Structure formats: structure tokens, C-alpha cells
Structure 1
Amino acid sequence: MTPIKRCWRPQGRFLREFARTCSVSAACRAAGLARRTVYRWRDADADFRARWENARGRVVERLRDEVMERALVGTERPVWQDGRIAGHETVVDTRVLWKLFQALQAETDGPRAAELQAQRERNAELSRRLDAGEKRVAAYDAELRAAAARRGSGTE
């Protein structure tokens, strides 16, 4: 494969915009790059890939902060009266709050609660079978050692 020329300035512009928007297309437009170029850089250059993931991580953190604020603190919305803004009210996004709750309590309250319970039961059964199998193997191994010891001492 042909080595990729490092273009720090376009890469830096791309990564800054990508960290701001989490949009490859918007970051490419801002840096004047083709999408296939940045994907090729990401696939071939471990340093660029690490910087890409770092930029993506910053976006995820920012989004997480925004979601938490909307769910817990709320956002200011105008209150209209007679075609004018009469004041503002704080509105908490209860849909986001509910989704956060479901994510935190996925085993008991989430949409996949039954599936997760069934998986836990399958895992418990598998664990029980593995334990029983290990006990049988240990008993068989002990029998073989005892038989080998008897043969070695000539008592069989």
C-alpha cells in the first residue's frame, strides 16, 4: 500500500471540526477534504485514528453533558401570551429522563428487561452445568491418580 502523506494542517482542521460537530461530512467541508481521504487516513495511520477517536470522545462527552442537563435541570422556554413573550419556564425533558432511567436500570425496567433476565437464567444454568462438569472431571482425575498410585505400589 502507498504510504499516506501527513498533512497536519488539513488533518487538524478536520479533527477540530469533527470534535465540534461529530459530522465527517461537515468536518471534510470545513477542511476542504474528501471523505474518502479522511477515511483512508483513519484506516492507514494509527496516530490519526487515535486523534479521530479522541475527537469523537470529546463529542460524546459534550452530548452526554447536554443530555444530562436537559433531563435533570431542563431548558428555558418562552411563555407566550397575546402574541408576546410573557416570561419563561423551565421544562425538563422527561423522555430523556425516562431513557436514562431505563439505561441505568436496564435489568429491571428497560425495554430488554425480560431478555436480560432470560440471559441471566441461561448464564446461571450454564454456570451450574460447568461446575458439575468440573466436579466430575476432578473426581475422574482423582480416580485415575489413585489407580496409577495403586499400580505403582503393586497393590492392585
Structure 2
Amino acid sequence: MPAKKNSLELHIEIYGTVTRRTTMGRVAIACAAVLASGLAFAENLEGVDEMICSAGQAQICLENGECYSATPWELSIPDFVIINTKKKTIATTKASGQNRSSDFSSVEKADGLIYLQGIENHRAFSFVIDEITGRMTVAVSRDGLSVSVFGACTDANI
């Protein structure tokens, strides 16, 4: 008798991967390298319109309530993304060769936080970035699946 598969294994078997280049992957912010080198590189983002971000930790949750920790690269999250709050865009870096970009429908700054939100390919995404520390929290969701990402951002003009 074959071993019983958990929901994540079934999802991977059905779809071939945990997620498909979701907006999360596009957007998701790639704060891994910044976190890998330490959050010391995150800096004050007050007045900054363009920042580079990297994902450090990620978690995927399925509609049945099961959640799994994953590395950003397991979820096709780019190593780095560039967020431009004036243009309302998030894009992969030229060096990645991925040429991915998404638009935000909403950008707000209040109480030391930057809020970015959008919808693309039946997925909703939301970013909260602390202007003082550069720490970032991202949520991406679609029917039956959500991904949470934690990372860091710094001024793109370093």
C-alpha cells in the first residue's frame, strides 16, 4: 500500500510545484540575501522612493489549514526585487534575467509604515514595510492558498 501523502505533496504532484510564478514570486521581494547577510543592511527608508528587497522566510498555507515553512527559492520568490513607490511597481533585478514586473494599485505611507497592495492573475498581494528598520512582511493569496513572506528592504541607491 503506498504511503499517504500530505496536502503539500499532493499539491506539488497535481501542479508540479508549490506555486507558479505567483505575484508573490514576482513581488515577493527577495529579501533573502539582505537577511542572509544580516538585517544590518536594512536601513531607514523615510523619503526613499526606490528600494531593493529580499525575502528571508516564507510559509505557505493551504485551505485545509495545513501550513508549511519553505525557503523563498522553493516558492519561486526572486532573490531580489526592486520596489518603486512613485511608479507603483515591483520588478526583478536585471541581473536575475527573469524580467518580471507587477504593478501596485495602492501605495500609502502612514505612521512610519509603507503599505503596498495589488491584484494580478487572480492573486491579491499586500506588503507592509517599516520605514525605520526596513523590515518587510508580505502576504499573497489566491483561492485555497496563501503565502506569507518576511524579509528586509534597503535604499536602492546604495
Band the TM-score falls in, shorter-chain normalisation:
under 0.3
Greater relative contact order structure (CA < 8 Å, 6+ sep)? 2
TM-score where L is the length of structure 2 = 0.22
Higher strand share: 2
Greater CA radius of gyration, 1 or 2? 1
